Amino acid sequence: DRIYLGPRVVLVYQEESVPVASRSSAPHPAVSPTPAPVPPAPRPIPPTPVLPPTYPAAPIPAAASASQAPRAQIVIEVDGRTLGAYQLGKDVVTVGRLPNNDIPISSQFVSGQHATIMKQNGNWLILDKGSRNGLSYQGRTIPQHTLTHGDRIFLGKGVALRYEVLA
């Protein structure tokens, strides 16, 4: 018989049983039966080591492979008060009023899908997504901006994102 255990097959051998002759009163001659040859024992199968599954490596985008953007965070400020910080851990981060954004900001001056922050050529770049109030840096309206430590980008009246490089 064969028993399958995953990728292994175990062979099981059973000796044939010989029916017991009915006992009669007549004596039988004492004959020494010739023993049947015993089949060789199956070879032991060495255990297969269990390894974790391997997956093909994900392709690295050309912009990210050139050089990695620094570890950084965005600090959210509303009317001069710090509301929180978001560490930039993804290649693309969305900012806006809608709750499904990576950085949701509940303010009437922020559009639902206001901006995107993304890695590009080893830096972080912020892009306006066609928002009503746009992006403002140093008093000028901008469509996009390569971020440097300490930059403060305004999304609307009193709402700013401060970019900080982490050590």
| Domains in the chain with CATH codes | 63-165 (2.60.200.20)
Q: What is the average per-residue pLDDT within 87-105? A: 95
Asked if residues 72 and 147 have their Cβ atoms less than 8 Å apart, the reply is: yes
What pLDDT is recorded for position 167? 79
pTM above 0.85, yes or no: no
- pLDDT tens-digit profile of 131-148? 999 999 999 999 999 999
Kind and range of the H or E run holding 66: helix 62-66
CA torsion through residues 80, 83, 88, 90, sign = negative
d(CA 153, CA 150): 10
146 DSSP β-pair partners: 125
